[in-house]
Structure 1
Amino acid sequence: MILSGCLLVWLSSYLVTEKAINDLSTKLINESGRKIITYLDGVMTPIAKLTKTMAREYTTGVVTIPMFRNYLFPKFVEFRTTGCGFFFSVPLPSRYTYTISGTTSNPFPVFAYQPYGYPGTIRDIVNITTGDIVKVNSTVDLTPYVPAKQDFFIYTLKNYYEKGLEGVYGEPYKVLGSTVAIYYSQLMYDPEIYKLNKTKSLVGLAKVNLSLETIVNFLSKIELLGRGYVLVAQDNFIVIGGSIDTISGDGLNSTNIFDVKSRNAGSLMKQFYELNNRTFSILPSVMKIVGESDGVSYIITPYKYVLENMQWNIFFVLYESEVTEALILTTSISIGVTVGIIVLGIVGSFVTGLVVSRPMKFLEKQFERIKVLDLGSVSNNSSMFREVNSIFNNLKNTVEWLAEIKTFIPQS
């Protein structure tokens, strides 16, 4: 009975602890997921709103080409963008944009522009605080630049013609002389024609860049249980960032998620991808995997982050051994307590048996003496139990009574 009771207590403790630990892990992942999504919304939504405002104000005639330099600078600075400007495909290729130039170790702001009919790009170095020109024509690049042939322009038009989207988040790309950036682009229309009859005659687009480094720095500070980590990647496998080294954090390269070396993450995500029917478009709620490269058990919890046309995948990776560590510790303690209770129960039962059986054996010996009327050798005793003491008293009375009548009992 003691053993059964202890086992039931241990089983109940195990099940309750297991549920509590799983709930705690789930809560940690959910809170981290909400934290990341809230941050991404806070970073990505403003650049979309800014770009849409720029495109609308050009299309409605609020801002014109002569105003671009002064119009764009405060937006470039206050929104902490790495690029902010207008790109035209008609009537002739042209662009007007603030951007970061130089090198990763020595960046500086420039106003880059390409007037109508000019084949290349002219750049003026500007003061990042006031916007004043520090050096006019710091570079005069005659290399032909056609906005309509750039990847971001083609991508924007593709989404417009295929999906009817006038504004889109673009894929990360390497900005010339700067870092890897995420951008939002919005189509613009001829203001004169739009003013006349609201007809949208495409002339170009507004575009705002945001350095990927901003998001990478945030993700690098996410802490999970033990050695657990988070990775963020697009459906096309390009890594945005993570809490481990994803290489793209240097702002120089975009990395395939399957190529991440840290913690064998690339190999693990490749295995996850294969087990998930070779897709990231539809994700399971959770997946447990034993890594093929290291034999370690992992728990992967994926999330989808969707904002307009953009879809990113957030992968939370926990080591199963670290999740169950507390359960193992609690179970070990429960087993120890259970064994202790069983041992104490057995010892207690043995001691109790001795305490109870000893006076009974004593009485047995006394009755053997009474049986042969050896009344002189009959002795008395006492016990901690009231009932046994009562028997001893009755034995004493019986012996005294037998002693009185012994002379009348014939010898056998």
Structure 2
Amino acid sequence: MDVIEKVGEKVKVFLNGEISPAASLAKVMASDYNNGLVDNVPPLSYLFDKNNIYYPSAIGLFFPDQITTYFNLTIFPGGVPTQSFSIYIKPKGYIGVEHWYANETDGSLIGMIQNQTVPFVIPSLAYWVTSFKYFDLYKTDAVYGDPYVVVNSTACIYYSVKLYNRTLLAKGVKKTVGISKVNVSLLNIEKYLKKVTVLGRGYVLVSETTDFVIGGSINTTAADSKSRVKMFELTERNSGKLMKELAGKYGTISNTPTTTEINSMGIDYIVKRMDFVLENMKWNLFLVIYKEDLTKVTNINTAISAGVAVAILLIGIILSMIVGYVITRPLTYLKKQFALIKKFDLELVQFNSSSFKEVNSIYKDLFNMVSWLNDFKSFLPESIFLQLSNIEEEGKPKPSVQETSHDMKKHDPHHNIHATYSSHSIDHTATDNSSSNSMRSLIASKLGKTGLFKLGLQMKNVSVISIMINPEGLGNNPDTITKIFSRIASGLSALSKTLKADLQITSIHEYQLSFVDSFSKKKPNLVAVECAIKVSKVLDNVLTCYSELDLSQGNPIFSIGISSGKANVGNLGTSNLRYYSIVGPCCTNAKTLATIGSIYHAKILADGNTITDEAKPFFVSRPIDRLLLGPSRSSEKDISTVYEVFKENNYENDEWLYELEQQKKNLKYKDFERAFQIFDLVKENKIEPSEVMQKLYESIDILNGHLLTNPEDSVVTSHLVKVFEYFTREGVSSFGALQMILNYHTQVNQNMKSYSTSGVSAQKASDFEITNYTFNSY
């Protein structure tokens, strides 16, 4: 029966795909009207474009006294199916309706078919009455109507959506003034159902709950080829008689159980009924199977299955014996080698070869794995190997006095010859005739020449992310710190592996992720910003749940800085100890940006080398300050614009309404771009000195306006207002203000101060400063 059910599910998927797009199309038109994009008489080009999306049998806007609707109909002149494309137009105030031929290329009017002058009362038409009946019945703004037969054409079903008075809608009042309606012909459904095959002589039928037939794999057409028939009127394979008996047994055929057995006219049937539901529309799907056909198929399948099972069992036993013998020997060998690898006793691993290609490939992989592990040992702390040795010793029984004496002799320097090997070689202490000696010598020679991790630095494009967590946010509770750190480390580790970043944990409050330019499609600065946004979400989830910091005061829980540029990257150290390092100002600049972020209450800050013109379209960001970056090879000061990054600027194709809404919300960030424009204009000499003061006052007005509408953004906005007011106040002249704008930057320093107190009583004494040394943070 699972096969039968899959046939039913397949039919339901087709029905959904054939009908549901009409609902989406009608909703889009209703939304366009309610939002003022089209009027009561929409442009023909608008309706034609919508018509070309799905080619429904009819599409249009309907009002009590006017309509505009295209029709794609299959008519049958002389019994031959022919496609007709036309349009009905009822102008406002006109008693009748105009019927025109329409151009299938652009939807324009070709010629009039009929000018109906008799009264054409839209509110009295069946689809109008039915739509509003269902609107009230189901308490909704959109409904499916009942199927009906179009004059001289096929049966169809339609979807209606309410249109509202837009003036009242803007005030929150919904007053219906019309409907948008899309028709879908049932002809394609009928054609599809005729091709559906069920087990043996079985067939499928689809009907309304009113018992009218939608279609089926048997003949469901009326004698006149136009009228609709009920399930009880079908004649082929006595299906009408069967449906009538089901209705008599269960009251109505809609009450038929999901699966039932029935005898009709001496024939046993198995009938499976399934519901097909779309919003307010509900259809019955019947799958009728002859019980005799099912029994035959079951018997045949059982016999075949039994024969195949016996054959497979015999062959399997024989093959398992052969394969087991072949596999057992190399597996036993591998088991011994893996036991040595588990303890990192790589110098004792022996290498072998086999005449079987597959087994020999495993041996080669074993060789490569041991080679890599041998090179990785230089990156691992020695404590790991000590723990492995301790675990191994704990599992062994304590040696006797004789065994201890024997071991002492065995390890006595007079009884053994010690050899020294490089960190890349694999020691060997087996006999001279062992075949594994040559293999270990090969590893030593290969890894000693090149190595997997070369020492030295190379100049590359690098993006560094510095993550700083407010220590107060973690609190002092050990359990809380443990929970937070484990979740942060887990999230950062997963991101670093996914985005191919190097993760370094400086402390529980500071983390660093670095991205190096490679052959990947994305540049490191783009990947870094994307990663920072994901890190911000991870930290938001973790710290919001577990942080002990009082967030009501606006205290920042964390801040992230991103800096990009060229840096020397590579491994430093010796063959026994290596350290992956990034030598350049990016690390310090990223940390500086993170520090500034905690001051500005900004989660993510990035420099100008990160948010380039190429990167700006992909992210929602804004400029908030200018920062003097760390030392570079140039003698000139490296002043960079600091950007606050909020989120990615990408949406799915079907989310255009959401994208429009987000673009409106993002308009407030444009204030900062307009205010900051003066820095670029001055830097690029695109503004006259006489215009500087006016531009400064414009920028101040923009920011003050932004502050009024967004008081929560006071930290950054107030700082910029103070800066620009300082330029206007201290610049004296336009030329002086221009020079101040050109040289403006923020510099982060560190201070070292020495204090003492004066007075006899410590309670009355006050601190006084002895020394104050200021030095750059880098």
Q: SS at the partner of 1:171?
A: coil
Q: Does 1:316 align with 2:287?
A: yes
Structure 2 counterpart of 1:284:
257
RMSD of aligned residue pairs (Cα, Å): 2.3
Alignment equivalent of 1:204, drawn from 150, 154, 178: 178
Q: 1:143 to 1:77 in 2, by over 3 A?
A: farther
Structure 2 counterpart of 1:54:
29
Q: Does 1:182 align with 2:151?
A: no
Alignment equivalent of 2:202, drawn from 204, 228, 231: 228
Work out the CA distance in 2 between the residues paired with 1:66 and 1:151: 22
Structure 1 counterpart of 2:190:
216
Q: Is the 8 A contact 2:165 2:176 kept in 1?
A: yes
Map Cα deviations across residues 25-79 of structure 1 (whole Å, 9 max, x no partner). x121111111111111111111001111111211221111343422111222331
Work out the CA distance in 1 between the residues paired with 2:280 and 2:126: 17
Structure 1 counterpart of 2:63:
88
Q: Which amino acid aligns with 1:108?
A: S
Q: Which amino acid aligns with 2:96?
A: G
Map Cα deviations across residues 144-181 of structure 1 (whole Å, 9 max, x no partner). 22121111111111122222121111111112343211
Structure 2 counterpart of 1:18:
none
Shift of 1:313: 0.4
Q: Is the 8 A contact 1:172 1:181 kept in 2?
A: yes
Q: 1:178 to 1:237 in 2, by over 3 A?
A: same
Q: Does 1:301 align with 2:272?
A: yes
Q: Which amino acid aligns with 2:33?
A: Y
Q: SS at the partner of 1:37?
A: helix
Work out the CA distance in 2 between the residues paired with 1:332 and 1:58: 65
Q: Which amino acid aligns with 2:179?
A: L
Shift of 1:101: 5.5
Map Cα deviations across residues 106-143 of structure 1 (whole Å, 9 max, x no partner). 331111110111111112211223223222x2311113
Structure 1 counterpart of 2:2:
27
Alignment equivalent of 1:37, drawn from 12, 35, 42: 12
Q: SS at the partner of 2:195?
A: coil
Q: How many residues align?
A: 301
Map Cα deviations across residues 216-263 of structure 1 (whole Å, 9 max, x no partner). 111111111111000000110011111111116997322111111111
Q: 1:66 to 1:235 in 2, by over 3 A?
A: closer
Q: SS at the partner of 1:65?
A: coil
Q: Which amino acid aligns with 2:259?
A: V
Q: Is the 8 A contact 2:74 2:83 kept in 1?
A: yes
Structure 2 counterpart of 1:252:
226
Work out the CA distance in 1 between the residues paired with 2:31 and 2:225: 31
Shift of 1:330: 7.8
Shift of 1:278: 2.8
Work out the CA distance in 2 between the residues paired with 1:307 and 1:285: 19
Work out the CA distance in 1 between the residues paired with 2:44 and 2:302: 68
Work out the CA distance in 2 between the residues paired with 1:144 and 1:101: 24
Map Cα deviations across residues 288-331 of structure 1 (whole Å, 9 max, x no partner). 11113xx2111100001111000000000011111112355689
Structure 2 counterpart of 1:23:
none
Structure 2 counterpart of 1:121:
97
Work out the CA distance in 2 between the residues paired with 1:259 and 1:315: 16
Identify the structure with bigger relative contact order (alpha carbons < 8 Å, sequence gap 6+).
Answer: 1
Q: Is the 8 A contact 2:57 2:73 kept in 1?
A: no
With 173-182 and 147-156 compared, the bigger mean Cα shift is at 173-182
Work out the CA distance in 1 between the residues paired with 2:204 and 2:57: 26
Work out the CA distance in 2 between the residues paired with 1:173 and 1:130: 29
Q: Is the 8 A contact 1:51 1:186 kept in 2?
A: yes
Share of identical aligned residues, percent? 33
- Structure 1's consecutive aligned runs of 4 or more residues displaced over 4 angstroms after TM superposition are 248-251, 327-333
- TM-score (normalizing by structure 2): 0.37
Q: Structure 2 unaligned runs (5+)?
A: 305-778
Shift of 1:189: 1.1
Work out the CA distance in 2 between the residues paired with 1:102 and 1:139: 18
Alignment equivalent of 1:71, drawn from 42, 46, 52: 46
Q: SS at the partner of 2:131?
A: helix
Work out the CA distance in 2 between the residues paired with 1:173 and 1:279: 21
Work out the CA distance in 1 between the residues paired with 2:229 and 2:207: 9
Q: Structure 1 unaligned runs (5+)?
A: 1-25, 334-412
Shift of 1:279: 4.7
Q: Does 1:99 align with 2:74?
A: no
Q: Is the 8 A contact 1:100 1:177 kept in 2?
A: no
Work out the CA distance in 1 between the residues paired with 2:71 and 2:284: 29
Work out the CA distance in 2 between the residues paired with 1:220 and 1:325: 24
- TM-score (normalizing by structure 1): 0.69
Structure 2 counterpart of 1:134:
110
Q: 1:321 to 1:27 in 2, by over 3 A?
A: same
Q: 1:271 to 1:61 in 2, by over 3 A?
A: same
Q: 1:166 to 1:286 in 2, by over 3 A?
A: same
Q: Is the 8 A contact 1:212 1:251 kept in 2?
A: no
Q: 1:331 to 1:194 in 2, by over 3 A?
A: closer
